[in-house]
Amino acid sequence: MFYSSRALSRIYQSPGFLKSIYEVLLPRRDYINTTAIRDFSSSSSVSVKMAATGDSPAPVSNLPPSMREYLIHFAQVHETFRKPELESLAKLFNIDYEILQYSEKAPFARIALPSNEAAKTLISRSILSKAIYELWGTGTTYDDLHTSIKSRTSHLWHLYKTCSFKFGFESFNGMRTESHKKQLIESFSYVGFDGPIRMKNPDELFVIMEDYEATSMVDLERLAALNIDEKVEAPARNPTHLDEPHQIYFTRLIGKSSRAIIETYDLKKRNYIGTTSMDAELSLVTANMALVSPGKLAYDPFVGTGSFAVACAHFGAVTFGSDIDGRMIRGTKQGKSLRSNFEQYKIMDRYGDMFVSDLTNSPLGRFGSTEEGGKRRSEQIFDAIVCDPPYGVREGLKVLGSRDPSRPKVPTIIDGVAQHTLKDFVPPKRPYSFDKMLNDIMNFASTHLVPNGRLCIWLPTADEDFNEFSIPAHRNLKLESACVQNFNKWSRRLLTYTRYEVDQDEPVTDGGVLPDATEENLDSAKAKLARTADALNPFRRKYFEGFKTPPSED
Amino acid sequence: MKLLTANFLSCAVKACKSSPLSFPLHFRDAELASKSVPYNPLLLSNLLPRLDWPALVTSSKELGFTLPDTKPELPRLSASSSSATTADGDMNMDGTVGEENEKTLRMLHKTVGNFLLPSHLV
């Protein structure tokens, strides 16, 4: 039952179905000064334990000591990215957390965190959530909700007696009339807030949240009991959208997310973009997954028009980028260049540098002096590598080199002039296979990331003929998450890896020379080159070590 | 092209990567333009351990200004130091490399360095 509803609900859960916040004035009259009586009869509540500080609501769930309970209001978009983004931010800010309840079918999730400060910090950089709230109570009906609120928060009510405030309403996959909302808000009058009601910038925002989406029910038996028939032909409305909410929450706003900056970086308003520029929302999410933060160094080896570079710089990293096509970086029109985007967003102080280079022959890395006075090659430079490499599905991938592997390795000389010394020389390029490119990216990330640095890479999940691509693996890179973005006919995913602190299962090499793809001899290079002609055939896929079978969607 | 970038780059020719002469690349006929950036202590503390100071000193001399011979202590570093300096405008950079003695001239065009290689060096 639960699983059969998935395909249908996916369609109905497009962003447009999410109702925007409704703000309703709470009438000041009709206040009853209820004496708080803690009601322990509330069925769902476990033993109600007061938090040690006494300034937070008693938790709904069994929480570890010193943890408090919060509700995160997510955006109902890019569902598979939401949890990994949150986990990345918790890691970035070093915040302990425990997800208590989460469903991809609904925007409301419950989470345990150590403090309001931690909650505020965690959500401050989130792109896929809207805000975080202190959870005052929850119930399957309004009666349950009120019981829950009274039993958990009556000791807090006096704190909000005189401040200005506002009540908000969030309904997911359902709606109410204004008069009904007003009526419902009035039913909360027992909390006895006497302060002024402010529509703009109230001291405190309280929000009633309702979930009408049946498939987000945590209790599967309850869902089964509803006996929803999704196979009705041409239903008047989505059968999984209930008439009454199945879960209601009452919350107090703690902190807002960074979701508003999506508009700031909107591609439509960006000075310079290309046909494959990544949209602002997912670029920023990618930067979050890469744990980019002030003072760090980020690099995009397929920088193009700089979507990721801008997103990484927004979050404070000094960003470097390169592309095999310098025209993308420089731009073709006056005033339209990658650099101009940094100027537009006033983040030039985080413009590391951009250069023209090919991943297989990258200049990054050096043979520098060591503290002891010796010389050694070092390549660990970046805290984050983010990229959306060309997929090569429609247009062929290209890499430096001659098409003809048997061609002698000598400079081309015409009329006594070595052609590559000319100013307008364009180096020849040869076809490149997708698998080989992945292999090179993984090797590059392994050698160029600092310990615990992150690699974020966007890859298609299947080509036009629905041949699944596997998830690339590397012994020095730990896969953290795989998030899927579905399109009409295809999909792509964002893979996030962490560089292990030390190289795995490999003898430490002498003199610090790191083994990489550049060490191969000419013969093996030629042999590989010959095979790249049929880039995506099964033989090639097997050839590269560590490629696994793709995981199922769950 | 920035001075800072030059500290991370060596010759892109594979055969040169094992040679100490592939780093640092040398600026030739370069025109220096500098621009101040806000003091960023977080960046400096992250960046300093990753810099090759002697190479930075070499590069700075090629561009006509001097840096102290020893890596400065973190707290004392001011905004005017190396990482705050950018080299702007058209300039040429010349990578002199290992025993192969292959001299590859790297052009900088509109501040964007070009490290693509002709096919005989790939």
Full DSSP string of A127-177: SSEEEEEEEEEEESSHHHHHHHHHHHHGGGGGGGSSS-EEEEEEEES----
**Partners of residue A412 in chain B, C-beta under 8 Å:** 118-120
How close A373 gets to chain B, by Cα (Å)?
Answer: 10
Cβ-defined contact of B12 to A320 (cutoff 8 Å): no
C-alpha–C-alpha distance, residues B22 and B28, integer Å:
15
> Does residue A217 sit in helix, strand or coil?
coil
**Partners of residue A358 in chain B, C-beta under 8 Å:** 115-117
> A229-233, A324-328, A352-356 — which is least confidently predicted?
A229-233
How close A323 gets to chain B, by Cα (Å)?
Answer: 10
How close A516 gets to chain B, by Cα (Å)?
Answer: 11
> Within an 8 Å CB–CB cutoff, is residue A401 touching chain B?
yes
How close A93 gets to chain B, by Cα (Å)?
Answer: 15
Are β-strands A491-499 and A477-486 bridged in parallel, bridged antiparallel, or unpaired? Answer: antiparallel
Q: Is A224's pLDDT higher than 50?
A: yes
DSSP label of A431: E
A427 pLDDT band, cuts 50/70/90, is: confident
Percent residues over pLDDT 90 in chain A: 53
With CA atoms as reference, the chain B residue closest to A401 would be B119
Which residue, among A151, A149, A147, has the nearest Cα to A134 in the 3D structure? A149
**Partners of residue A410 in chain B, C-beta under 8 Å:** 120
User: Residue B95: its pLDDT value, please?
Assistant: 40
Task: Give CATH 3.30.2130.30 domain extents, chain A.
Answer: 6-256
Q: What is the pLDDT of residues A277-295, one digit of tens each?
A: 999 999 999 999 999 999 9
Residue A491 φ then ψ, to 5°: -150, 160
More confident residue, A40 or A107: A107
Cβ-defined contact of B116 to A356 (cutoff 8 Å): yes
A409 pLDDT band, cuts 50/70/90, is: confident
Cβ-defined contact of B38 to A365 (cutoff 8 Å): no
Q: What average pLDDT does the segment A296-325 reach?
A: 95
Task: Give CATH 3.40.50.150 domain extents, chain A.
Answer: 267-362+380-543
**Partners of residue A348 in chain B, C-beta under 8 Å:** 37
User: Residue B109: its pLDDT value, please?
Assistant: 59
User: Residue B25: its pLDDT value, please?
Assistant: 80
A6-256 — its CATH code?
3.30.2130.30
C-alpha–C-alpha distance, residues A481 and A308, integer Å:
18
User: Residue A185: its pLDDT value, please?
Assistant: 95
Residue in A316, A357, A401 closest to B119 by CB: A401
Q: What average pLDDT does the segment A443-468 reach?
A: 86
DSSP label of A216: G
Residue ranges of domains in chain B, CATH in brackets = 3-121 (2.20.25.10)
How close B113 gets to chain A, by Cα (Å)?
Answer: 5
Residue in B13, B23, B120 closest to A366 by CB: B23
Cβ-defined contact of A297 to B14 (cutoff 8 Å): no
Cβ-based neighbours of A477, under 8 Å, separated by 6 or more: A442, A445, A446, A455, A497, A498, A499, A500
Torsion angle of C-alpha atoms A500, A506, A508, A512, degrees rounded to 10: -70
How close B10 gets to chain A, by Cα (Å)?
Answer: 5
Mutating which of B17, B22, B25, B108 best tests the A interface, going by the most A Cβ atoms within 10 A? Answer: B17
User: Residue A370: its pLDDT value, please?
Assistant: 62
**Partners of residue B113 in chain A, C-beta under 8 Å:** 353, 355-356
More confident residue, A301 or B111: A301
Structure tokens at A330: 């420089």
> Within an 8 Å CB–CB cutoff, is residue A400 touching chain B?
yes
Q: Is A162's pLDDT higher than 70?
A: yes
B107 pLDDT band, cuts 50/70/90, is: low
How many beta-carbon contacts under 8 Å exist across A and B? 154
CATH topology of domain A267-362+380-543: Rossmann fold (3.40.50)
Which parts of A262-345 are beta strand (E)?
Answer: 297-300, 318-323
Which residue, among A477, A469, A483, A470, has the nearest Cα to A497 in the 3D structure? A477
A399 pLDDT band, cuts 50/70/90, is: confident
Cβ-defined contact of B17 to A357 (cutoff 8 Å): no
Q: What average pLDDT does the segment B41-67 reach?
A: 84
User: Residue B65: its pLDDT value, please?
Assistant: 78
Cβ A133 vs Cβ A73: under 8 Å:
yes
Predicted-complex ipTM score: 0.82
**Partners of residue A355 in chain B, C-beta under 8 Å:** 1, 5, 9, 112-115
Cβ A506 vs Cβ A516: under 8 Å:
no
Cβ-defined contact of A363 to B105 (cutoff 8 Å): no
Cβ-defined contact of B43 to A294 (cutoff 8 Å): yes
**Partners of residue B5 in chain A, C-beta under 8 Å:** 320, 352-353, 355
How close A512 gets to chain B, by Cα (Å)?
Answer: 11
Residue in B38, B114, B120 closest to A410 by CB: B120
More confident residue, A19 or A437: A437
DSSP A452-501: EEEEEEEEESB-TT-PBPPPP-BTTEEEEEEEEEE-SS-EEEEEEEEE-S
More confident residue, A293 or B5: A293
Mutating which of A303, A315, A330, A356 best tests the B interface, going by the most B Cβ atoms within 10 A? Answer: A356
Q: What average pLDDT does the segment A324-330 reach?
A: 89
Q: What is the pLDDT of residues A166-200, one digit of tens each?
A: 999 999 999 899 999 999 999 999 999 999 999 99
User: Residue A77: its pLDDT value, please?
Assistant: 96
User: Residue A272: its pLDDT value, please?
Assistant: 95
Cβ-defined contact of B50 to A518 (cutoff 8 Å): no
Q: Is A98's pLDDT higher than 60?
A: yes
Residue in A329, A352, A358 closest to B116 by CB: A358
Average pLDDT over all residues of chain A: 80
With CA atoms as reference, the chain A residue closest to B115 would be A357
Mutating which of B5, B26, B50, B112 best tests the A interface, going by the most A Cβ atoms within 10 A? Answer: B112
Q: What is the pLDDT of residues A45-88, one digit of tens each?
A: 333 344 434 678 877 777 777 899 999 999 999 999 999 999 99
User: Residue A54: its pLDDT value, please?
Assistant: 64
With CA atoms as reference, the chain B residue closest to A525 would be B122
